[in-house]
Amino acid sequence: MAESNETSSKVTCRSRRAVEQIISAVCSEIKKTLSKNSERIDEHCIRYIQKFRETFTAILRENILVNGELRDQSPLDITPEFDPVDNEKEKKINEELLPQLDLCIVDIARKRKQLPPVCKKAVTDYANHQAVYLTKVKPQVQNDSFGSVVNEIKQAASLITCEHLKATSATLASLVKASSEEYEQVVHLTKAVEIEEINRNCKTNPSVLIEFPFSSIDKALHSPAKKRCTDSLSLPQTVPVKYKHHADATLRMDFVVQPTDTLD
């Protein structure tokens, strides 16, 4: 029981370095206090200070535990808490790492605020600039088969439109992929609104009506009529096109066909 009380009365430190720091701090404070009374510092006083330092050091070392063990029996290792501070590491963290993290946070916050307008502007630009205008078709009529030529004209116009829509869709897909998924619906809805506005603004013209569902785009691109249209048609100029988007997912295109050659 006496041994337990004796152990509990001892001071506990985490390492030997802590013990030496305590001794140095106490002796430094004593010296600082005496230096304020310079008239009392004489040879006898210096001897008393030295004697006190020796006595205090001996008593403290005898009555202190390092990690629960007596100082003389404790290992010589020093805990990381008392290692010197790495100034270079601290400087790198404060001057390089933390500013980069701050910039990252600010950048993310700015993108969350500005991303929807950016998507809308990009979709508007593509709708106004790229969703243009089928090429004017000048049919080469042969063998009095004007009906078959008209069908080939329709197929050629469909192929041109499909290729253009695929290119525009790929560009928009890369834009949507770069943004977060939550803005995907905004992009598509905005595109539909812009296309509808283009449709309302188009002038009415004598037209040939073409209707085909979106699911048939890939089939049209691989149609055998593609080669026949390429061999017999030239597409030098552009004419305005009206796009109509229906609820049944059918794309309607009205374009002007102006034949310049006469029947043979």
Instruction: Answer yes or no: do 78 and 122 share one domain.
Output: no
Together in a domain, 138 and 235: yes
How high does pLDDT run on average in the chain? 60
In a shared domain, residues 238 and 164: yes
Q: Are residues 73 and 128 in the same domain?
A: no
Same domain, 200 and 125: yes
| Same domain for 124 and 57 | no
Distance CA 115, CA 96 (A): 28
- Does residue 47 sit within a domain? yes
Q: What gap in Å lies between CA 169 and CA 107, rounded to an integer?
A: 28
Q: What is the extent of the structural domain holding 43? A: 2-82
The percentage of residues in the chain with a pLDDT greater than 90, rounded to a whole number, is 0
93 or 4: which leads in pLDDT: 93
Same domain, 125 and 193: yes
Query: 89-138: per-residue pLDDT in tens?
Result: 777 777 887 777 777 777 766 666 666 666 667 666 666 655 454 444 44
Burial of 60 (0-12, 13-18, 19+ CB in 10 A): middle
More confident residue, 159 or 238: 159
Structure tokens belonging to residue 186: 């905004």
Q: What is the mean pLDDT of residues 246-251?
A: 42
Selection from 236, 230, 255 nearest residue 161 by Cα: 255
**pTM greater than 0.75:** no
Q: Are residues 123 and 250 in the same domain?
A: yes
Same domain, 71 and 124: no
Helix/strand/coil percentages in the chain, nearest 5 = 65, 10, 25
> For the chain, what is the domain count?
2
Given a contact cutoff of 8 angstroms between Cβ atoms, the answer to whether 82 and 18 are in contact is yes
pLDDT, residue 91, reads 78
